[in-house]
A and B are shown apart, each in its own frame.
Chain A
Amino acid sequence: GQNIDQPTEMTATEGAIVQINCTYQTSGFNGLFWYQQHAGEAPTFLSYNVLDGLEEKGRFSSFLSRSKGYSYLLLKELQMKDSASYLCAAFTGGGNKLTFGTGTQLKVEL
């Protein structure tokens, strides 16, 4: 079966760095997505990792280890607007099917 785990909630301070972890057990794994979703809005694409390693995109970075079934999203210089749900999703191929975790609700405080 498909299983994706991520913490339910995290709290961090404005200006700080936060790391959101995601572990997965899936069949036919082809890559790992991260999305950001603000309350009442659609998910917006943040990153897509296929190969092991770190990919940096501005304040956001994403890491993947295929052998460990592990990924993380790193957010630097946190801003209040980063308060949102962060969704980890495994791309399992056989078409464009994504299996999502339940999301990590990040709260950024002053």
Chain B
Amino acid sequence: KAGVTQTPRYLIKTRGQQVTLSCSPISGHRSVSWYQQTPGQGLQFLFEYFSETQRNKGNFPGRFSGRQFSNSRSEMNVSTLELGDSALYLCASTGGGVGKNEQYFGPGTRLTVT
């Protein structure tokens, strides 16, 4: 089974621009969660999508948004980029079902905002 894939792997953007990141979960997994990782704050939960619906949301401003498609692929969007948005963005897929809560992470997208 293929793992979680994320595109692009690296991205450089300028302040004020917007960016869209993509995540394809493990085949058969319906839940996709997004996290931001920075040296100062560690891994922080952004939001989770399940069956095309946002099921959970972290404490991030409205500039951060996401969506999920019928094939479970998910995208996250950050508008009006700020320098502080420079981070590794990770998505994780979960199979669901009783006792199957393990989250498997993709390789991440490293975003640099200049």
Do they bind each other?
yes
Q: Is the CB of A43 within 8 A of B58?
A: no
Q: Is the CB of A97 within 8 A of B33?
A: yes
Given the known interface contacts A97-B33, A98-B33, the answer about A103 and B42 at a Cβ–Cβ threshold of 8 Å is yes
With A and B bound together, what is the CA distance between A50 and B94 in angstroms? 16
Looking at chain B's contact residues, is the secondary structure mostly helix, strand, loop, or mixed?
strand
User: Which has the most chain B C-beta neighbours within 10 Å: A31, A43, A48, A95?
Assistant: A95
User: Which has the most chain B C-beta neighbours within 10 Å: A30, A33, A96?
Assistant: A96
B80 proximal to A (CB < 8 A): no
| Interface residue tally on B, bucketed by range | 20 to 34
Which residue of A has the minimal Cβ distance to B33? A96
Q: Please indicate the chain A residues that have their CB under 8 angstroms from the CB of B99 in the complex.
A: 50
With A and B bound together, what is the CA distance between A97 and B32 in angstroms? 10
| Interface residue tally on A, bucketed by range | 20 to 34
Chain B 86-112 per-residue mask, 1 if CB under 8 angstroms from chain A, else 0 = 000010101000010111111110000
Chain A 31-43 per-residue mask, 1 if CB under 8 angstroms from chain B, else 0 = 1010100000111
Chain B interface (Cβ < 8 Å from any Cβ of A):
31, 33, 35, 42-45, 48, 50, 55-56, 58, 90, 92, 94, 99, 101-108
